[in-house]
Structures are given as C-alpha cells and as structure tokens.
C-alpha cells in the first residue's frame, strides 16, 4: 500500500513509520505543522509541534530512507481545535482537544488530503489496533498494552476512517520495548520524553490561556442552597469535579472538601458541594459517531469518559440524535463536553459528546 506516515517528531510515530517500511509499504513521511509560530524549542516534555519536533521527524525519515514533507495545517488546527476548545470552555463544557485533533485534523484534514493524493492509509504512532472482522470489515480495538492504550481518543473515527488507518504499535507489549526498538534502529528520538499537557498550551496554564482569550468574566461561587462562598474571574477556569483553586472564603460546616458540581456561564456562577454529589448514574450524549454498526435497541456496553479512565458497564440506547447511557457502575466528576466512548470487549463501537448527566440513585 501507499502509506502516509504522520511523524510528530516523537519515538512512537518514528517506530510506527519504520514498521510500515519493514512491512513492505511505500511510505512517505509527513510532519503536520500545527503551530503558527513555532519559534521556540520544546522544554522538557511539555507541548509538541515545535521546530525541534519537525527536525527530529525529518532526521527519522532520513534514517528510514523515505520521502519527507511538512504540511502546514495550522489554520485548520486553530479553527477546528483551538477555537473549539475556547468556545467549549466559554459555554461551560469540558472538551478534550486530543479527541478533536484526531477527529478533525489527523483523520479528516490529513486523511482526506492523503486519499486525494492517492495514498491508501494514514499511519500514526497511536497505541490501538485495527483488526479484521469475520466479514472483512476493519474494526478498531484497544492496544495490547493497556497502560498505553489510546483507543479512547480514536473513538471519534467513523468506519471509513478506521478502514484507512494503520497503527503499527498496537501489538507492542510495552512502551519501553518500543524505545528499545528505536535504539536498535538507531533512531535519535529513542529516549525523547513523551509530550504531556495540551500541545497548544505548553506551559500547562490552561486557566491563564483561557483568560487571555476570553478576558475576565467575574462571578460567584455558590453552595447548593445558593449562598455565596467566594468569587471567580471566569467560569472557564473550572470543570466539574474540580477541588483545588476554588477560591472559597470559608470551609464547609462539616470540614469536608467541596468540589465543582455545575457551571452556569450565562449566570457566571459555579456551584460546589460534597464529593457524593458528583456521582453520576446516567449520561445523555449527542453527535454520535460509529465505527461499528449503530446499535439498535438497548445494548450492553462498557463506557469510558476519560483518556485513561476506567471503563464501566452500562446500557446504551440510541434515540434519534441522542444516546442515553444508563451506568451500571456510577462515575464521578463527569462534565458536559467530555467524550464518552463505547466498547464491546476490546472493540471500539463509537463515541458521542456528553450533553448532560443525571445523578446516581442512592
């Protein structure tokens, strides 16, 4: 196959590209330039998409003997990921920018362009697997290494995108073995630190980033009875389940910690309360995307609402444009805007965006 290898400049994408070459594919490396002003080098393991990353990707491609290009997708990235991130927080929701990037950049903009140029598949360094079903269809599954599994952030892919995806690291036993393989191959990124945090907020200060974009929008922090406990400079600085940085004037009467229970951006209020009020028994979700056939009627599934969160049993039912999810095991701190991924065993069925929750029954 003609394969377009997305090379971020990290060890995972470099080894993935190397394995695609070993498999006999005609591989071309491409680095996505997502930062409009990548004038500084990465510091430690924060951020990505810097000049250093582009150079590391080029060196890896040169060592593998494959053509290499840099594609400027910064305009699409700003519109589809950064501006979406800001708008979601402004609306009181909690988005996952990595999910959006996979959905709209790596497997929409990049894949669409690759297919238009005659490529058969896009190869990335994600830890997930594409397996073939009995009918020959492509199925997205969890990675062999549960600790590194990234199927959650890929759950937004539809069936056609999964069919054109290649994840050579999906069967890798551990990340350390991937690094050891990179060293054997002589790849200079073998011991390069993994990137963390949100790539377009390399200093990790999400609240400061949002404040710069949205400005100050002062409001009140309330308890469940509506009593004012403190003030804030913007509801975008909070997410459901948050405990620290609440700016409360006094502790709870019983001395127990308080957590963010809800956010009302129009009223500019943040409501806090005890931990047990965070328990959620039902999810309501919209914008479903299915890589497997859409479920008909109530179906038993496992659901996951965070990239490294626990998958819990649930019953999901599609009704029109909404998916109702009744949790057999309650979850805590679930916020509107998060992605809920649906699994049957190791297989990813699809995903949807959480629009609301209902409390767990006591």
Supply the residues annotated as catalytic.
101, 199
Contact present, 20 and 61 (Cβ < 8 Å): no
Structure tokens at 276: 């047990």
Neighbours of 9 (CB within 10 A): 24
Yes or no: say if 132 and 14 are a contact pair by the CB < 8 Å rule: no
* Strands (E) located in 68-146: 68-72, 121-123, 128-132, 138-142
**Phi, psi (deg, nearest 5) at residue 218:** -60, 145
Would you put residue 311 in left (φ > 0), alpha (ψ -120 to 50) or beta? Answer: beta
DSSP string, 118-133: T-SEEE---SEEEEE-
The whole-angstrom separation of Cα 200 and Cα 197 is 9
Helices 175-185, 11-22: crossing angle, 10 deg rounding: 70
Residues in the chain: 362
3-state helix, strand, coil in the chain (%, to 5): 25, 30, 40
Q: If DSSP codes are grouped into helix, strand and coil, which group holds residue 96?
A: coil
């Amino acid at each position: 196959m003609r394969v377009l290898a997305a090379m971020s400049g990290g060890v995972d994408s470099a080894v993935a590209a190397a394995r695609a070459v070993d498999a006999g594919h005609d591989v071309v490396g491409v680095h996505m330039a997502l930062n409009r002003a990548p004038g500084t080098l990465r510091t430690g393991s924060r951020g990505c998409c810097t000049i250093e990353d582009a150079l590391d990707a080029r060196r890896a491609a040169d060592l593998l003997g494959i053509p290499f290009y840099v594609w400027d997708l910064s305009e699409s990235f700003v519109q589809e990921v950064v501006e979406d991130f800001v708008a979601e927080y402004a609306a009181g929701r909690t988005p996952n920018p990595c999910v959006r990037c996979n959905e709209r950049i790596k497997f929409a903009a990049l894949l669409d362009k690759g297919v238009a140029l005659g490529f058969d598949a896009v190869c990335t360094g994600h830890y997930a697997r594409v397996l073939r079903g009995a009918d020959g269809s492509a199925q997205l599954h969890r990675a062999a290494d549960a600790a590194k599994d990234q199927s959650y952030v890929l759950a937004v892919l539809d069936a056609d995108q999964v069919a054109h995806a290649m994840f050579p690291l999906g069967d890798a036993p551990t990340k350390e073995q991937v690094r050891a393989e990179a060293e054997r191959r002589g790849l200079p990124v073998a011991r390069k630190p993994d990137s963390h945090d949100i790539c377009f907020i390399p200093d990790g200060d999400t609240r400061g980033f949002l404040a710069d974009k949205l400005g100050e929008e002062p409001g009140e922090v309330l308890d469940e009875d509506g009593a004012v406990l403190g003030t804030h400079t913007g509801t975008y600085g909070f997410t459901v389940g948050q405990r620290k940085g609440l700016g409360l004037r006094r502790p709870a009467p019983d001395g127990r910690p308080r957590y963010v229970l809800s956010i009302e951006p129009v009223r500019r209020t943040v409501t806090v309360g005890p931990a047990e009020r965070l328990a959620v028994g039902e999810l309501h979700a919209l914008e479903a995307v299915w890589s497997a056939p859409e479920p008909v009627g109530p179906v038993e599934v496992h659901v996951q609402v965070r990239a490294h969160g626990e998958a819990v049993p649930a019953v999901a039912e599609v009704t029109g444009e909404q998916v109702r999810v009744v949790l057999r095991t309650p979850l805590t701190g679930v916020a509107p805007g998060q992605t809920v991924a649906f699994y049957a065993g190791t297989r990813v069925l699809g995903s949807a965006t959480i629009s609301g929750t209902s409390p767990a029954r006591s």
